[in-house]
Amino acid sequence: MTSITQAGPAVSAGPAAPRTRTRRRDTRKLLEILLFVGPALIVFVGFVILPVALAAVYSFFNWNGLGPLERFIGIDNYIRAFGDPLFLKSIGNNFTIAILSLLIQGPLAITVALLLNRKMRGRTIIRAAIFVPYVLSEVIAGLSFKLLLSPRGGLNAFLESIGLGDLAQPWLAQPDTALWVMFGILTWKYLGFAILLMLAGLQGVPEELSEAAAIDGASWWKIQWHITIPLLGPTIRIWAFLSIIGSLQLFDMVWVTTRGGPVGATSTMATYMIQYGQGNPGYGSAVAVILFLISLLIAVLYQRHAMRRDLGTEADTRGDDF
């Protein structure tokens, strides 16, 4: 006698298979992210985070750069730095240059960029000529101005040749005017970059708006003031950010031209750090940490309050909803 056994209902695999595919896809995505981000993250940690952390450690020691770290002195290096009038003056010089850059270089760059954005003969040559100083090395530019502005330099010789010898003076050797002369050199050096940045931003301004305003009878200056410059806002804010951070970290042009003199008139935080921190790395590290924290604080505050619309942060998105 043969018995027949009926097969039961088929057992469904359920949601296990989709979950497995999802897990594999997530794992593959994570590996891709690690593959692309990993090398850059290692370089960032090795060349940015680690040096800052080591400088912070060194700043708490009286260390000459040789041998082990044994003489722990706490925050004495920081107290010494903030008790030094020359360091406080260096901080003031950095902020003075940053403010002057925003008040003078910014409007000047916008004005020149607006003029160069118009159709004119020789516009390409003028643009290239304005950008040439930025291409030059800081060392070459600094040495050139050091020779040009010396008491027996080319500028004084030129003034004497045209009968204005009374105006001749040691331009970089007078404490009252040295910082202004240095700012003039910095303006000559970096104005071309600001103009180039503004010109790039102007290419994104729709011409239809200007043409419509012109048809309605608006003058060229009114069009620039009410249409072009407001639309140039993101570019202006990015340039201002770069200008502020560059002013706080200013070193090469000042070091080559005046080495922070005369009598600290052109000293900056970076030149002070090199001048007084080379023989005492512990103290130099404290100055470097102060410079880093000031730059970081200003960068965070600026991006949080001035560039939040340009960066499109989540907080800004929430703010737009209200």
Range of 22-36, 57-71, 155-169, 289-303 with top mean pLDDT? 289-303
What CATH number belongs to 75-308? 1.10.3720.10
CA 265 to chain CA mean position, Å: 23
Classify burial at 140, counting beta carbons within 10 Å of its beta carbon; exposed 0-12, middle 13-18, buried 19 or more.
exposed
- Confidence band for 6, pLDDT divided at 50, 70 and 90: low
In this structure, are residues 147 and 235 in contact, taking their beta carbons and an 8 Å threshold?
no
Nearest to 117 by CA among 195, 211, 219: 195
- Confidence band for 109, pLDDT divided at 50, 70 and 90: very high
pLDDT at 173 over 60: yes
pLDDT digits (tens, 9 = 90+) for 243-302: 999 999 999 999 999 998 888 899 999 999 999 988 888 999 999 999 999 999 999 999
Q: Could you give the C-alpha distances from 149 to 124, 140, 142, 315, in angstroms and in order? A: 31, 14, 11, 51
Structural domain boundaries in the chain:
75-308
Classify burial at 171, counting beta carbons within 10 Å of its beta carbon; exposed 0-12, middle 13-18, buried 19 or more.
buried
Please state the pTM of the whole predicted model: 0.81
pLDDT at 197 over 70: yes
Contacts 24+ apart (CB under 8 A), 63-70: 63/280, 63/281, 63/282, 64/279, 64/280, 64/281, 64/282, 65/281
